[in-house]
Amino acid sequence: MYKYRDTFYKRYFSSQVGKADPAAFKAVFEEQKWFFSHEILPHFSKDKTIKILDIGCGNGSLLAAAKEKGYTNVTGIDISPEQVEIANKLGIAEVRQGNLNDLINAGTETFDLVSGMDIIEHFSKDELTDLVVNLKKILNPRGMLIFRTPNMDAPMTSVFSYGDFTHECLLNKSSALQLMKSCGYTKAEVSASMLKVKNPLKELLRKLLWSSVVLNLKITLFASGRTWHQVVFTPNIIIKGIN
């Protein structure tokens, strides 16, 4: 592990993720849960009995969203004791502290779905390649791997991609597909992340503005002699791979 990680990950939640007042942790948790319910869960199998593992699960908000939708076999793992403690305090008892490599090397558990939200950007290219290859060992046949990560083709991408000092490997749709296929996944897909706000009036305005932004980006690509058909513009991308 690189030396800087010893400094940054020791108190990652309180220094970066948890910049907000601790009293607001619950509100942040609920906001994340709502977002995951609308953005990530639609990609899950409709079979509510599938065995799910969320790696780097943080406060457990994705697991909470899954449980509310009826998924009954969920587990979360995070290396940070601080994150695990907060998840447990928020009522997500399925979150446990642990090292993912230990779980993979043990070879005692396999899963139908492994998710990783806002995590793969924290790895080097070598580490990420090893991770994606090794996760196949704990995926059942036809099991799915799903990631959310910043999108390097998004407008003002530095806001999302370089807003965290610990980000290392950054992808767009093309490089994400290349990664999944090179690592042996039988099927790979990359889709846009969700752009939505709860306030109806703000959502209407956002939609109109976003349509204008995307049109300008397509014009820019056209002017540069490139096609936009394989480009995703949203701040994040959703990456899926089938074992």
Which residues partner with 139 through β-bridges? 111
Q: Domains in the chain, please, with CATH?
A: 3-194+232-242 (3.40.50.150)
pLDDT in tens, 180-204: 999 999 999 999 999 998 899 999 9
Nearest one of 152, 151, 139 to 184, comparing CA atoms? 139
Distance between CA 174 and CA 232 in Å, rounded?
9
What is the percentage of the chain residues whose pLDDT exceeds 70? 91
**pLDDT at residue 188, as a whole number:** 97
Q: Are 57 and 33 in contact (CB under 8 A)?
A: no
Distance between CA 27 and CA 21 in Å, rounded?
10
pLDDT: which is higher, 171 or 1: 171
Distance between CA 5 and CA 129 in Å, rounded?
19
Mean pLDDT throughout 87-101? 92
**pLDDT at residue 165, as a whole number:** 83
Could you please report the per-residue DSSP string of 29-72? HHHHHHHHHHHTGGGS-S-TT-EEEEET-TT-HHHHHHHHTT--
Mean pLDDT throughout 193-218? 95
**pLDDT at residue 21, as a whole number:** 57
**pLDDT at residue 27, as a whole number:** 83
Confidence of residue 110 (pLDDT cuts 50, 70, 90): very high
**pLDDT at residue 82, as a whole number:** 82
**pLDDT at residue 51, as a whole number:** 98
Q: Is the pLDDT of residue 81 over 90?
A: no
Count of positions (residues) in the chain? 243
CA–CA distances in Å: residue 68 to residues 26, 38, 54, 56, 62: 16, 12, 16, 20, 10
Lowest mean pLDDT among 19-28, 74-83, 93-102, 108-117: 19-28
Distance between CA 229 and CA 242 in Å, rounded?
23
Mean pLDDT of all residues belonging to the chain: 91
b (16+ CB within 10 A) / e for 28-64 = bbeebbebbbebbeeebeeeeebbbbbbbbbbbbbbb
pLDDT in tens, 4-51: 776 666 555 555 555 555 666 788 889 999 999 999 999 999 999 999
Which residues partner with 238 through β-bridges? 148, 191
pLDDT in tens, 122-176: 999 999 999 999 999 999 999 999 999 999 999 999 888 888 888 999 999 999 9
Mean pLDDT throughout 53-69? 96
